[in-house]
């Protein structure tokens, strides 16, 4: 009986699986670029109703019908959404990916969940910008400390202190790609819990950045 049931389930499920389109992978790299730069779109799909379609908003030359697997290159002049659609007999599949074209200069708030520890004690957080997330041309210009307490910023072996509510251009022209670490020392009359509460359990910095050659 179990064997017959298994065979019956296989016969029922097989057409359902075959009739559904699948997008096994879909990536657009990098996700943030400078004007004039190119992104690479890669996909791997499966479907029984023909080839898929790669659309873009706004429309770019090179978009349109695509095979089950492949790559294409685009140079968006403005922020663009790529949409991959794969038809299926029973169910279609769709994925979207946004690419940001950075303006000449822009600012972002970046940071992470804070932890407290170490000797001497400090509140710290880190964030990492991967190569697939950002153009190598996007560089830091100015970093702002919005807290009424000292911050220490570390990246690529550099460490710079920013006074309370102050700024630094010490990371000027440093690539945004990589790991940034933000620390704030625990005061002599503070405990870790007090320090974490003082920063709302997060450490965030404002980074002004620009596209550099």
Which one is predicted more confidently, 129 or 7?
129
pTM of the model: 0.81
Its CATH class, for the domain covering 105-211, is: mainly beta
pLDDT for residue 19: 57
Going by pLDDT thresholds of 50, 70 and 90, the confidence category of residue 62 is: very high
Name the segment(s) of the chain with CATH classification 2.60.40: 17-101
pLDDT for residue 89: 73
Residue-wise pLDDT for 188-198, tens only, equals: 999 999 999 99
pLDDT for residue 4: 55
pLDDT for residue 51: 81
Cis omega before residue 99 (within 30°)? no
Q: To which residue do tokens 């407290």 refer?
A: 116
CATH domain 17-101 topology: Immunoglobulin-like (2.60.40)
Cα–Cα distance, 209 to 81 (Å, whole number): 23
Which one is predicted more confidently, 185 or 89?
185
pLDDT for residue 213: 78
Cis omega before residue 181 (within 30°)? no
Say if strands 202-211 and 64-66 run parallel, antiparallel, or are unpaired: unpaired
Mean pLDDT of 45-56: 82
Q: Do the Cβ atoms of 182 and 97 come closer than 8 Å?
A: no
Name the segment(s) of the chain with CATH classification 2.60.120: 105-211
Residue-wise pLDDT for 2-24, tens only, equals: 565 444 444 444 444 455 789 99
Cα–Cα distance, 30 to 136 (Å, whole number): 9
Say if strands 115-117 and 167-168 run parallel, antiparallel, or are unpaired: unpaired
Going by pLDDT thresholds of 50, 70 and 90, the confidence category of residue 82 is: very high
Residue-wise pLDDT for 143-174, tens only, equals: 999 999 999 999 999 999 999 999 999 999 99
59: tokens are: 């429309």
194: tokens are: 């007090």
Cα–Cα distance, 82 to 99 (Å, whole number): 8
């Amino acid at each position: 009986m179990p064997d017959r049931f298994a065979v019956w389930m296989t016969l029922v499920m097989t057409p359902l699986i075959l009739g559904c389109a699948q997008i096994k992978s879909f990536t657009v790299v990098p996700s943030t670029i400078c004007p004039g730069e190119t992104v690479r779109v890669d996909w791997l799909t499966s479907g029984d109703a023909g080839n898929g379609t790669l659309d873009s908003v706004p429309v770019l030359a090179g978009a349109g019908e695509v095979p089950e697997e492949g790559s294409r290159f685009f140079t968006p002049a403005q922020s663009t959404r790529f949409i991959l659609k794969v038809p299926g007999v029973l169910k279609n599949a769709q994925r979207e990916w946004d690419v940001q074209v950075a303006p000449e200069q822009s600012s972002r708030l970046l940071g992470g969940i804070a932890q407290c520890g170490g000797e001497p004690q400090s509140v710290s957080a880190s964030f990492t910008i991967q190569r697939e997330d950002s153009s190598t041309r996007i560089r830091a210009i100015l970093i702002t400390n919005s807290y009424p307490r000292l911050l220490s910023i570390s990246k690529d072996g550099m460490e710079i202190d920013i006074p309370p509510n102050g700024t630094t251009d010490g990371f000027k022209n440093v690539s945004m790609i990589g790991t940034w670490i933000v620390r704030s020392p625990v005061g002599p009359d503070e405990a870790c819990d007090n320090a974490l509460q003082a920063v709302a359990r997060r450490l965030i910095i404002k980074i002004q950045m620009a596209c550099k050659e």
